[in-house]
Amino acid sequence: MSQQRLPPPEAPACLVLSRVSRYKGGTIIAEDVTDLATHQKRVCDPDGYRPSWCLRCGGHVLHVHDYAERRLRGPGTVLVVRIIRYLCADRSCAASWRILPAFIARHLWRAWPVVEKAAMAGPAPEQTEERTSVPASTVRRWRARLASSAGQLVQLLAASGTALLEAIAERVGPSAARRALVEVHGAMTRSGMGARLGTLGALAHRLERGIRLM
Ligand SMILES: [Zn+2]
């Protein structure tokens, strides 16, 4: 049996655990905010990111709670990005929601376009390190994640109730690796290069909070 016929390995546990019932509040990804300039405009306005309702209790009143910082590593620089958090005004709920722009990868230290360039491109990890300043060990870890099973993500798309996402799930199939899902989803949703991982990562999180692409 050739190695290419083996199914991809299971995805690591940190990628597949739902956070819906385990946490009060959490992260909402602003899928329409794909660049820093747009983010900075919206984060300065108390209403800029205010959710219309609380995802936990459905309440319609959310107040600005506080601001946090995310540090994004780039070639020779660290970019500090301000993140806003809202608190549900219903005291019996009191869920807090932080709003993350779509270009910031949850749990990774870099912006999605950088992750995509390093993880999806072909050159050896050492060459990739020279080009992107992402350490070769990190490039290997990211690529291993993309080589793991997309089964759970494909199931989410298949159950989404959206015709396009169902078609993508059918095209990819249940035993594909995450990389194949990125390629098919990117092509069928016409996501530009550099936006493919971020778009799919945000979608996975929207379909079930906590589920990670990488
Ligand atoms: Zn609430």
What are the tens digits of pLDDT across the range 104-161?
998 888 999 999 999 998 789 999 998 888 999 999 999 999 999 999 999 999 999 9
Centre of ligand 1 from the C-alpha of residue 89, in Å: 7
- What CA–CA distance (Å, rounded) separates 29 from 205? 8
- Decide which of 5 and 161 is more confident: 161
pLDDT band, residue 4 (cuts 50/70/90): low
Q: Is the pTM of this model over 0.75?
A: yes
Centre of ligand 1 from the C-alpha of residue 90, in Å: 6
Centre of ligand 1 from the C-alpha of residue 43, in Å: 21
Centre of ligand 1 from the C-alpha of residue 47, in Å: 17
Cβ proximity of 125 and 88 under 8 Å: no
Centre of ligand 1 from the C-alpha of residue 162, in Å: 27
For 46-177, where are the alpha helices, taking DSSP H only? 112-120, 125-132, 136-146, 151-158, 163-172
Centre of ligand 1 from the C-alpha of residue 205, in Å: 19
Instruction: Using a CB cutoff of 5 Å, list residues around ligand 1, an ion.
Output: 54, 56-57, 59, 88, 90, 93, 95
Centre of ligand 1 from the C-alpha of residue 206, in Å: 17
Centre of ligand 1 from the C-alpha of residue 66, in Å: 16
Q: Residue 27 in 3-state DSSP?
A: strand
Hey, which residues does 171 pair with through a beta bridge? Answer: none
Quick check: 18 pLDDT over 90?
A: no
Q: Can you say whether the dihedral through the CA atoms of 191, 194, 197, 202 is positive or negative?
A: negative
Half-sphere CA count of 23, side-chain side, radius 13 A: 15
Percent of the chain at pLDDT above 70?
97
Q: How far is CA 30 from CA 66, 80, 83, 105, in A?
A: 17, 18, 11, 12
Cα 138 to its chain centre, rounded Å, is 17
Nearest 10 degrees: Cα torsion 181, 182, 183, 187: 100
pLDDT band, residue 1 (cuts 50/70/90): very low
- What CA–CA distance (Å, rounded) separates 104 from 35? 9
Cβ proximity of 64 and 88 under 8 Å: no
